[in-house]
């Protein structure tokens, strides 16, 4: 199977705090993989290692065919990364933000690429509106458009729908599935159980360790939980007992 992400025994510490513990993960191309776990569990650090923003202390593997330990620059050119907090410029319009991002990537044919990205995410009617005046859902859509501007092969999303209304969340996930149908791979962290069920695969992390891995149906069958939320509460309690 062709994997967009294929890493083995990845470890990362900050001082005496062991944040990621022996992470082994394979994500096939064209799938949505969901990272779940409490705050401080290691999800964000794992994502940053995979996309080349952090270097692991130990381990090995590839992202989009590039070595995660030695080829971070190559990985970053092929990845779109959307943080939890809106990170674009609120005193610029949608188009000005997109044009600025295109300049940072040094994109050829910048005006046409910006127009295409704005149209693809349904932002045309608002392109002259200041980003700071947008609602949470529209800011989210702008952030996603900026991530997709350079046409990445892998999209990494760190709790992208936090604080967004339910309709905007549904629209966002519909867009993710549309992109996967076109061949893009998505790694997303989320706290929402309804979003977890829309992922092709799930991984649950607590105290830096990957405790469960599989599809929603596989996890429910294996652990016999009535629902995903109950399952993850049980996993969390077990992690607390075993990994203080």
- Average pLDDT of the residues in 61-67: 94
pLDDT (0 to 100) of residue 243 = 46
Q: Which residues are CB-neighbours of 217 under 8 A, at least 6 positions away? A: none
What percent of the chain stands above pLDDT 90?
45
- Average pLDDT of the residues in 116-120: 90
**Average pLDDT, whole number, for the chain?**
86
Instruction: Please state whether the predicted TM-score (pTM) of the whole model is above 0.85.
Output: no
Report CA dihedral (46, 30, 193, 14) to the nearest 10 degrees. Answer: 0
**110-120 and 136-148 are packed helices; what angle lies between their axes, rounded to 10 degrees?**
140
Give the model's confidence band at 237: pLDDT under 50 very low, under 70 low, under 90 confident, else very high. low
* 189-201: pLDDT as tens digits: 887 778 888 899 9
Give the model's confidence band at 244: pLDDT under 50 very low, under 70 low, under 90 confident, else very high. very low
Q: Which residues are CB-neighbours of 116 under 8 A, at least 6 positions away? A: none
Q: Are strands 209-214 and 154-158 parallel, antiparallel or unpaired?
A: unpaired
pLDDT at 107 over 80: yes
pLDDT at 144 over 70: yes
Beta bridge partners of 205: 210
pLDDT (0 to 100) of residue 227 = 63
**Structure tokens that stand for 56 in this block:** 């692991």
pLDDT at 235 over 90: no
Could you give the domains of the chain? Answer: 3-86+156-242 (3.40.50.300)
C-alpha distance across the termini of the chain, in Å: 36
pLDDT at 127 over 90: yes
**94-105 and 110-120 are packed helices; what angle lies between their axes, rounded to 10 degrees?**
130
Query: Greater confidence, 224 or 78?
Result: 78
pLDDT (0 to 100) of residue 229 = 64
* 10-56: pLDDT as tens digits: 999 999 999 999 999 999 999 999 988 887 888 889 988 988 889 99
Give the model's confidence band at 1: pLDDT under 50 very low, under 70 low, under 90 confident, else very high. low
Nearest to 189 by CA among 51, 1, 94, 61: 51
């Amino acid at each position: 199977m062709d994997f967009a992400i294929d890493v083995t025994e990845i470890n990362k510490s900050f001082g005496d705090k062991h944040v990621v513990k022996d992470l082994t993960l394979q994500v096939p191309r064209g799938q949505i993989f969901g990272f779940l776990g409490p705050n401080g569990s290691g999800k964000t650090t794992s994502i940053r290692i995979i996309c080349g923003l952090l270097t692991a202390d130990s381990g090995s593997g590839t992202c989009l065919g590039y070595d995660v330990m030695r080829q971070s620059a190559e990985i970053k050119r092929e990845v779109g990364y959307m943080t939890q907090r809106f990170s674009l410029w609120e005193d610029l319009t949608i188009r000005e933000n997109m044009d600025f991002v295109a300049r940072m990537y040094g994109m050829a044919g910048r005006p046409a690429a910006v127009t295409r990205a704005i149209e693809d995410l349904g932002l045309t009617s608002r392109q002259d509106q200041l980003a700071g005046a947008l609602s949470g859902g529209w800011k989210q859509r702008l952030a996603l458009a900026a991530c997709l501007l350079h046409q990445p092969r892998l999209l990494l999303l760190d709790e992208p729908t936090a604080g967004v209304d339910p309709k905007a969340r549904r629209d966002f996930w519909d867009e993710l599935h549309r992109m996967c149908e076109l061949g893009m791979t998505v790694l997303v962290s989320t706290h929402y159980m309804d979003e977890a069920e829309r992922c092709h695969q799930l991984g649950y992390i607590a105290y830096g360790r990957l405790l469960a891995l599989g599809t929603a149906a596989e996890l429910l069958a294996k652990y016999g939980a009535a629902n995903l939320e109950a399952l993850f509460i049980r996993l969390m309690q077990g992690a607390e007992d075993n990994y203080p």
